[in-house]
Structure 1
Amino acid sequence: MKKSSKWVGLLLMVSLLLSACGNSGGSSEAGSGGEGEGKKTTLTAWAWNVNVGAMEEAMALYQKQNPNVELKIEDLGRLDVYDKLSTGLAAGGSGLPDFVLVEDDRIQGYLDAFPKGFLNLSEKGFDAKLSEFPEFKRGIVSKDGAAYAFPFDAGPAGVFYRTDLFEQAGVDPASIETWDDYIAAGKKIKEKTGAQLLPIDKFKDDATFRIMLNTLGVYYYDANGNIDLTNPKAVQAMTVQKKLNDEGLIKDVNGWDGTVSATIDGSIASIPFGAWYYGTIIDQAKELEGKWGVFPVPAFEKGGNRAANLGGSSWMINAASDNADEAYKFLEFFSTSVDVQKIAMEKYGLFPSYAPVYKEDLFQKEVPFFSNQKIWKLFADEMEKIPTPYYTKDYAIGLDEAVKAQADVFNGKDPAEALKAAADRLSERTKREVNSY
């Protein structure tokens, strides 16, 4: 019996040693507390700015039902995230976190360059949830019929405007339905107040042009990936840009800082931008509370589409992650939790893509800073009407050439000729076909 007991003891020790070895390494470890605690998992993530705080608060809610999951998220700065992400994907996922925030205009580029780099969410069952997001977001996060990113924030566009300047000029924003109406209003405002109508970084960014393209249902590329800058609708949009410039209604600003400065100092009366600009205005222009409002982006003809998007991001899971299943469960919760999305918007100014949130009382509230207007309802109402922009992997090159075309137009070139030249250069750089009209 003693000999048998020794063997049993030895086997028990070996079993314990093997169990300990099996739980070492990675980001999971055995629970050290009482019975039933199970394995602990630490998820890792990269993001930037306010997205970090929103994610941390989401994890705090998630832990109420999942106490063995923790989050370690690094705020690396937007461009640092992309540099490290590209390097890690090229190395087969080495050194990457479990999941990462990616701006919507970069998703297709990463999926093309690294087709096996990110977890296929459709295979995990996320398609059952996709119908609860607007169509344009579904298109952005999908490739070849499968979803690869969890839709997060969006940038439904509107025209932020100074109510006091509009009143001083006798302009009713409700009377502005088209871009021609907007230009006519701008001329009155400039004459009566001295303020220009809107800011544009003329030679480095084309945000207003992108908003215009999106309302018209076109973009740099079409659904087949062909270059679409010669589309008559693109020419129509650039022609309006020229009219704005010819009338002296554009304030040429230098980058983001120049845009914010113009917003604060009263040198511009309005700015077409994404809903996220709300946070900048209330933070940087506190003394102007009650002197702001929002109206829908102008259409190109009466009754035309006034819905567009500018900006937005989504979360993607590293396919090489050892914690891919746990990351999927958490991000599904994150992207489809009404409570999480309300926190992200109310506390961090991140406009949600998850449609069920729009039924919440928050979207019926008047916003005191914006003249007691229900601005969130205005933005929510346009989400399902936003056409899908086709970014492709060559979005950055398309942006570069579109900005050059815009600069040429502001320097006096005919819009159609400037866009044709840009399309030809873009074709040379990307080897894509140019649509002919």
Structure 2
Amino acid sequence: MKKAISLICMVLIIGMLSACSGGNSEKTSKDDNKLTAWAWNINVPVLEAAAERYKKENPDFELEIVELGREDVYQKLTTGLQAGGQGLPDIVLVEDDRIQGYAEAYPKAFLDLKKYGFEEQKDKFPTSKTDLLTVNDKVVGFPFDGGPTGVFYRTDMFEEAGVKAEDIETWDQFIEAGKTIKEKTGKAMLGLDLNGDDGLYRMMMNQQGSLYFDDKGELVLTSEQSMNAAKVIKQLKDEGLVKNTVGWDAWISAMVSGEVATAPSGAWLSGSITGQGKDTSGKWGVIPLPAFEEGGNRASNLGGSNYVIMENTNMKQEAYDFLEFFSTDEETQLEAMKGGLFPTLNTIYDEPVFTEKQEFFTNQPIWQTFTQQMDSIPSVNYTGNYSVAMDESIKAQSEAVSGKVSIEDAYKAAEDRLKNRVK
């Protein structure tokens, strides 16, 4: 009898513990009828502010935002997709260079926004974004921020060297300007991590309408566009115009401490420069990326992100309605700009902030420089093999600038290796 009573008590205790454990576990919209979103860093306060505004018109709306590290989001997203969608939220932030890979590897993972009316909003965004998000005739995400590019430059160094930044229209002119600046000031033209990153190469490829793959998914590391980009990078190195900056911190430090004269990058770099180089206010300007030939395209992109809705959410319409508001609400886009994100919503570009002179940037309306190129950014095909292609591209760049092999041989070897890796 005592054993029976003890067994009953044990079962009851286990049941109570299980109930308590369930109450403390991470909830999803399936459990508590609220939307859940995963995001990181500066994106979180933008989501929070938008949710508060949306709730004013939709009082029953609830959004739980789970802040995770960027790589944690991808790790958990991948794990959840491999498990058939288990443990995933309703909404996830995914960057431009990742979204095609996920959509191709898991074709049923994301809600097709075309079925919910996205076509009515499509013209509010640049084609480079809507093309990116159209995978297998499905629209798999809402465009959010972008990375239109430009050359951030130190006006004080250019003035000391007698170089006018606005006269630089081509990469050849950029190199010549770099030589003059090096001669007059002793400073390098730009910082690059030639053995660890190929950001400049990617910008150059994008402005030529390409990347590691063409629009059909064929490798183009040995293409004319690739050779154009690689030759400029090698010439910059050979002319002594590059400061070796290994890693993000060294790159930023070289800019704000005055070790380099320029930084070709995405618009988002403005946040890092103004944040970490407060004492350099009034010593910066921005020009469009140089072209490969006079009159050539100077628009490119580096970075950007989007929001996807998981197909297995039980709140499809609710998630769509909120993200449609989020991605087209002008106040939300202005909120995003405070954190350094650049909105891709084109209906906002006539707002005063885009034409206001920025004291930090020598009273230049730098946002206008970026908005003017949004419609000219070529669409590119990242594919699901983007990360391995980047790995081989960086190896090729490192080998090419070392001088041990020719540029052509370095990129041919990389393309051959990549073909084996993506079989």
Q: Distance in 1 between matches of 2:296 and 2:29?
A: 53
Contact 1:41–1:69, Cα closer than 8 Å, also in 2: no
The alpha carbon displacement at 1:129 in A equals 0.8
Q: Distance in 1 between matches of 2:245 and 2:162?
A: 26
| CA deviation map 1:22-76 (0-9, x unaligned) | xxx96489xxxxxxxxxx9521111111001111111111111011112211211
Contact 1:103–1:311, Cα closer than 8 Å, also in 2: yes
TM-score (norm: length of structure 1):
0.89
2:363 alignment partner, one of 352, 363, 372: 372
Q: Distance in 1 between matches of 2:317 and 2:248?
A: 39
| CA deviation map 1:175-205 (0-9, x unaligned) | 1011110011111111111110011111010
| Residue 19 (structure 2) aligns with | none
| Residue 199 (structure 1) aligns with | 191
TM-score (norm: length of structure 2):
0.92
Q: Distance in 1 between matches of 2:295 and 2:28?
A: 57
| Residue 390 (structure 1) aligns with | 381
Runs of 5+ in structure 2 lacking a partner? 1-26
The alpha carbon displacement at 1:270 in A equals 0.4
Runs of 5+ in structure 1 lacking a partner? 1-24, 30-39, 432-437
1:333 alignment partner, one of 325, 328, 341: 325
| Residue 422 (structure 1) aligns with | 414
2:152 alignment partner, one of 160, 166, 169: 160
| Residue 213 (structure 2) aligns with | 221
| CA deviation map 1:365-405 (0-9, x unaligned) | 11111111010011000000000121000000110111011
Change in 2 beyond 3 A, CA 1:84/1:28: closer
Equivalent AA in structure 1 for residue 340 of structure 2: G
Contact 1:290–1:372, Cα closer than 8 Å, also in 2: yes
| Residue 59 (structure 2) aligns with | 67
| Residue 126 (structure 2) aligns with | 134
Change in 2 beyond 3 A, CA 1:398/1:26: closer
2:247 alignment partner, one of 255, 258, 266: 255
Q: Distance in 2 between matches of 1:353 and 1:26?
A: 29
Q: Distance in 2 between matches of 1:424 and 1:139?
A: 28
Could you list the runs of 4 or more consecutive aligned residues of structure 1 that deviate by over 3 angstroms after TM superposition? Answer: 25-29
| Residue 80 (structure 1) aligns with | 72
The alpha carbon displacement at 1:229 in A equals 1.0
Equivalent AA in structure 1 for residue 350 of structure 2: K
Contact 2:175–2:236, Cα closer than 8 Å, also in 1: yes
| Residue 111 (structure 1) aligns with | 103
Q: Distance in 1 between matches of 2:143 and 2:243?
A: 34
Give the count of matched residue pairs. Answer: 396
| Residue 89 (structure 1) aligns with | 81
Q: Distance in 1 between matches of 2:66 and 2:268?
A: 22
- Superposed CA RMSD: 1.3
| Residue 335 (structure 2) aligns with | 343
Contact 1:307–1:385, Cα closer than 8 Å, also in 2: yes
Q: Distance in 2 between matches of 1:26 and 1:61?
A: 22
Contact 2:146–2:304, Cα closer than 8 Å, also in 1: yes
Contact 2:207–2:298, Cα closer than 8 Å, also in 1: yes
Equivalent AA in structure 2 for residue 190 of structure 1: K
| Alignment of 1:356 onto 2:347 | yes
| Residue 48 (structure 1) aligns with | 40
Q: Distance in 1 between matches of 2:39 and 2:244?
A: 31
Contact 2:150–2:289, Cα closer than 8 Å, also in 1: yes
Change in 2 beyond 3 A, CA 1:428/1:28: closer
Contact 1:92–1:320, Cα closer than 8 Å, also in 2: no
| Alignment of 1:306 onto 2:306 | no
Q: Distance in 1 between matches of 2:116 and 2:309?
A: 12
Secondary structure of residue in 1 paired with 2:275: helix
1:293 alignment partner, one of 276, 285, 300: 285
Q: Distance in 1 between matches of 2:132 and 2:98?
A: 9
Q: Distance in 2 between matches of 1:198 and 1:28?
A: 50
| Residue 241 (structure 1) aligns with | 233
Equivalent AA in structure 1 for residue 373 of structure 2: E
Equivalent AA in structure 2 for residue 305 of structure 1: N
Q: Distance in 1 between matches of 2:93 and 2:311?
A: 14
1:405 alignment partner, one of 390, 396, 399: 396
Contact 1:127–1:147, Cα closer than 8 Å, also in 2: no
| CA deviation map 1:252-304 (0-9, x unaligned) | 11111111111121110100000000100010000000101100100011111
Equivalent AA in structure 1 for residue 420 of structure 2: E
Equivalent AA in structure 2 for residue 161 of structure 1: Y
| Residue 171 (structure 2) aligns with | 179
The alpha carbon displacement at 1:145 in A equals 2.1
| Residue 268 (structure 1) aligns with | 260
The alpha carbon displacement at 1:215 in A equals 1.0
